[in-house]
Chains A and B, each alone.
Chain A
Amino acid sequence: MIKTEHLSKRYDALVAVDDVSFEVQPGEVLGFLGPNGAGKTTTMRMIAGFVTPSAGRASICGHDVQTEPLRAKACLGYLPEGAPSYGEMTVRSFLEFVADVRGLTGERKKSRLDYVIGRLQLEKVLEQTIETLSKGFRRRVGLAQAIVHDPPVMILDEPTDGLDPNQKHEVRTLINEMRRDKIIVISTHILEEVDAVCSRAIVIARGRIVADDTPQGLAARSRYHNAVSMRLEEPQQLEAARAALASLPSVAEVEVVEREARLTALPRGGAAILPALAELAARQGLKLKELHLESGRLDEVFRTITA
């Protein structure tokens, strides 16, 4: 379990993190969202024991990070922002160093190293020094060191930054594989990642938690939640269609994207408007290329609550 209570960090006049409290239970994958400079990394650093909080406390698996740092750190796998490592070391010697510090020995050390090397596809670069690796490989080496001891708690600061789409997919698959019985906290500003892996999302802005919800719950806050989007076969019908949609009492607003011949009808008070719209389209003889129900746009929610 990760628990933070009133965690705060001040640098002189600047308040980086302001009274952040939350708990994460095993099985949860928590997405930590927020604009750059919102305090995500500072919060993660305080939980990992790298930054000393100005106030409040954090604990990992019941061990207070400040008073029992070794026990707390032993439960934790941590990928710092930017995946720093020792550039002059080879991938193999670096991972062995981390495994040694983590207290892995003998057969267990060998099997865990084999596992992470295979899982993150590092075989080809094992004997290369880390400074010669591409950004994607460095990130994967960073992930490998974070999970080598099979920790119950993982904090990964931007684990997919710098990876190509295939590698991103691989890392998300890995996170989904590990999630059972574990606690995983990832920070990201890629919102699709939240949908892909997270069971919960905390949005932080100016050092404060501004939302703590499931990804679905977060999307439901969008004004696009339950909105219906349609694309017309014939652009000349656009104006007539807009007027017809706007006349429906359950429709609050209609947005038009002329370039795509697309109309988006926003419901009044989140009402279900799809059946009414489908019926209207049939009645008006609108030729539809596409018709779909939106669950809500995370990026729009993100902008609204962090602005």
Chain B
Amino acid sequence: MRNVAIIMRRELASYFATPLAYVFILIFLVLANAFTFYLGGFFERGQADLAPFFNFHPWLYLFLIPAIAMRLWAEERKTGSIELLMTLPVTLWDAVIGKFLAAWAFAGLALALTFPLWITVNYLGDPDNGAILAAYVGSFLMAGGFLAIGSCMSALTRNQVIAFILGVVACFVFLLAGFPLVLDAVRAWAPQLLVDAIASLSFLTHFESISKGVIDVRDLLFFAMLIGFFLFATGVVLDARKAD
């Protein structure tokens, strides 16, 4: 546990040692607000809630989260610092979890910095703050899911651009798993059971209910298991390919 915290702290500090953190947070906030006001029609709807804000999170994350995740392991392998990290007295899982938590905390910080919108709706009307909190939790969990997928893609390659593209594609598949775009490709050859299983993996479906303020244990479990699975996969990939 101690090592996880040390690795997480180092990783988090390195985000802020480069312009990456500031550029990312700025772009995240600008896009989140632009989507809310222009595409979501925040004022025109005449309702004091944050639905137009949260509705766009999956799409925002689709590109922005792989941008954080791409460097997690690809950069370590490119610069060779993975050799240093893996020969320090830490376990592979300390490193995988520590780096993931740093990225997740960073995404959480960017998300938390959207709080002026929450203040705005409270100023304009009387929103259901419980539902808003639930939606924030859901959004944070979804960011974790995207990050875990991105972490695994980043472990596959030493090239950050490839890691980014793989990350976006993998996230896109998970995002739309319940929609014809993905399901039609599977339906042609897979048994119905598999089609249903894939459909149940859809981020959009799981996020939708949380973003409406309904916290279902199944949705929480879905994201928790997804994160666990992809972190495990990250470790397996790294163990096999760290020295390549």
**Residues of A that sit less than 8 Å from B by CB:** 45, 48-51, 69-71, 73-74, 76, 78, 80-82, 84-89, 93, 97-98, 100-103, 129, 145
Given the known interface contacts A86-B14, A93-B13, the answer about A102 and B87 at a Cβ–Cβ threshold of 8 Å is no
Given the known interface contacts A73-B88, A84-B80, A102-B89, the answer about A97 and B6 at a Cβ–Cβ threshold of 8 Å is yes
**Do the beta carbons of A88 and B17 come within 8 Å of each other?**
yes
**Do the beta carbons of A86 and B89 come within 8 Å of each other?**
no
Given the known interface contacts A84-B81, A89-B17, the answer about A50 and B86 at a Cβ–Cβ threshold of 8 Å is yes
Closest to B11 in A: A86
Q: Which of B1-20 contact A (CB under 8 A)?
A: 3, 6-7, 10, 13-14, 17-18
- Chain A residues, Cβ within 8 Å of B79: 84, 86-87
Complex A-B: 6 CB contacts under 8 Å? A69-B91, A78-B87, A81-B83, A89-B10, A98-B88, A101-B90
Nearest CB of B to A115, in Å: 19
Bound complex: CA A93 to CA B81 (Å)? 15
Within the complex, which residue of A48, A71, A86, A100 is in contact with B81, where a contact is CB–CB below 8 Å? A86
Within the complex, which residue of A73, A76, A80, A93 is in contact with B83, where a contact is CB–CB below 8 Å? A80
**Do the beta carbons of A50 and B6 come within 8 Å of each other?**
no
Q: Decide yes or no whether B84 CB sits under 8 A from chain A.
A: yes
**Do the beta carbons of A45 and B243 come within 8 Å of each other?**
yes
Interface of B is mostly: helix
- Chain A residues, Cβ within 8 Å of B17: 88-89, 129
**Do the beta carbons of A102 and B88 come within 8 Å of each other?**
yes
Q: Decide yes or no whether B57 CB sits under 8 A from chain A.
A: no
Given the known interface contacts A73-B88, A73-B89, A101-B90, the answer about A50 and B14 at a Cβ–Cβ threshold of 8 Å is no
**Do the beta carbons of A70 and B87 come within 8 Å of each other?**
no
Nearest CB of A to B233, in Å: 19
**Do the beta carbons of B83 and A84 come within 8 Å of each other?**
yes
Bound complex: CA A50 to CA B77 (Å)? 12
Nearest CB of B to A158, in Å: 13
User: With A80-B80, A88-B17 given, can you name 20 additional A-B contacts, CB distance below 8 Å?
Assistant: A45-B83, A49-B86, A49-B87, A50-B83, A50-B86, A50-B242, A51-B243, A70-B91, A73-B89, A78-B87, A84-B79, A84-B83, A86-B14, A86-B79, A86-B81, A98-B88, A101-B7, A101-B89, A102-B88, A129-B17
Contact with A along B66-96 (1 / 0, CB 8 A): 0000000000000111011011111100000
- Chain A residues, Cβ within 8 Å of B83: 45, 50, 80-81, 84
Nearest CB of A to B4, in Å: 11
